Structure 1
Amino acid sequence: MTWTPHATVAVIVEDPKGQFLMVEEVSNGQVVFNQPAGHVEEDEAILSAVRRETLEETGWEVEPTHFLGIYTYKAPANGVTYYRFCYSAKALRRVSEQLDDGILAAHWLSLDAIRKLGTRLRSPLVLQCIEDYRDGRRYPLDVVVDTQT
């Protein structure tokens, strides 16, 4: 069998009041919370995926500001290994109320409210990425070399 990891992006967006843009979605029949996140499509630049996924899942246009890191996670539900390219971004404007299938709503939540979601977070990476961001983890965008751009 061929091992096929999944390349995904996740986006940390914080507003001036310290609230984080979160997605309420259905995954494996359960309602969970996540950052705007999703798969990088074939021939798509990673930063384009950051912008596209955030727009599709929240209706917000964003501009990536920093790279936070690559996070790996093997999902117990399906055994798939995910490579999550996590970025921070600045919210520019909400341009759409229409959200992707499976997305119930976009919310701005405090870090305390996110922590209280506990097992309702899609994976442990959701909180870890936010906490790494809050701890000051930031790398320039060009640390990821992407020939698709």
Structure 2
Amino acid sequence: MDRWTLLTYVHSLAGPVMMLLYPLYASIIAIESPSKVDDEQWLAYWILYSFLTLLEMLIQPILERMPIWYDMKLALVAWLVLPQFKGAAYIYDRFVREKIKKYGGLDRRQSSPNGKPRNKFVDFLTPKKGEQKAY
């Protein structure tokens, strides 16, 4: 096997490892740790990764004409994932949270018992204490 073939295999494995396997592992570690800071980083990552995947599906014909799209996506995801950068938490704090506040996704006037803001959609989906949802 020559170097170019090996490099091609490594390049094709980098995406799934960087975009899925490492975040999956780090998310499990974050859930099991007592800190909530890492939970926020990984939840923000999965939100952004889902959005990126949906966007990719919508503009697939355009992306097919960009031969460097995969490399650009890999670099973006590396920035989102790597703990040195914490890009996912940064993007979420800077842009997503602001849009949610602006368009009324979070009602700051009402608080849940733990002091966090209530979300009307989440409240609709989750059963109240002593109440069961019929599925």
Normalised to the residue count of structure 1, the TM-score between the two structures is: 0.23
Larger radius of gyration: 2
Normalised to the residue count of structure 2, the TM-score between the two structures is: 0.24
Q: Which has the higher contact order (CA 8 A, sep 6+)?
A: 1
More helix by share: 2
